[in-house]
């Protein structure tokens, strides 16, 4: 499982001209990618890291300041562009595997106490954000 975490002042996801998920205060925008071997251990580890990692101002975590989290599915995190001019997506899990894992990470974040907004799995999304810092970090398990 891979996640790109961005500290943001605000962020939103739009599908078909409608905002489907948004945070309007400082928090985290998370792009989440799932590979074939990800299971419950990766889900739990990733959610806990997102929630407890001290990325916000004054070295605070989202859990410490009750910051919102916007999670967007992102299979392209598993793209491989080492050869040729066209990336391959072989390491990305297919929808029947990755969608439940994505949902599980969101559910685990909520169980931990996070206010979670979501994109729409598999949709053509427009993501807007105001990166704070800028701070962007790659998590990989």
CATH code, 106: 3.50.80.10
Number of domains in the chain: 1
How many other C-beta atoms lie within 10 A of the C-beta of residue 101? 22
Q: What is the pLDDT along the chain (141 residues), one digit of tens a residue?
A: 999 999 999 999 999 999 999 999 999 999 999 999 999 999 999 999 999 999 999 999 999 999 999 999 999 999 999 999 999 999 999 999 999 999 999 999 999 999 999 999 999 999 999 999 999 999 998
Q: Pairing mode, if any, of strands 116-118 and 126-140?
A: unpaired
**What ranges in the chain are assigned the alpha helix state H?**
40-52, 62-65, 95-112
State which residues form the domain around 60. Answer: 2-140
12-43 CB burial, b ≥16 within 10 A, e <16: bbbeeeeeebebeebbbbbbbbbbeebeeebb
Contacts of 8 (CB under 8 A, 6+ apart): 23, 26, 27, 28, 29, 70, 129, 130, 131, 132
Q: Which residues are catalytic?
A: 74-76
């Amino acid at each position: 499982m891979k996640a790109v975490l961005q500290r943001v002042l605000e962020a939103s996801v739009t599908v078909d001209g409608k905002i489907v998920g948004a945070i309007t205060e400082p928090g985290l925008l998370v792009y989440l990618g799932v590979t074939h071997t990800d299971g419950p251990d990766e889900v739990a580890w990733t959610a806990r890291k997102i929630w407890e990692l001290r990325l916000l101002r004054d070295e605070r975590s989202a859990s410490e300041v009750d910051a919102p989290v916007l999670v967007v599915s992102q299979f392209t995190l598993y793209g491989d562009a080492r050869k040729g001019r066209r990336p391959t997506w072989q390491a990305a899990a297919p929808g029947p595997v990755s969608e439940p894992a994505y949902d599980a990470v969101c559910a685990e974040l909520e169980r931990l106490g996070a206010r979670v907004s979501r994109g729409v799995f598999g949709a053509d999304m427009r993501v807007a954000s105001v990166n704070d810092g800028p701070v962007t970090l790659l998590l990989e398990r």
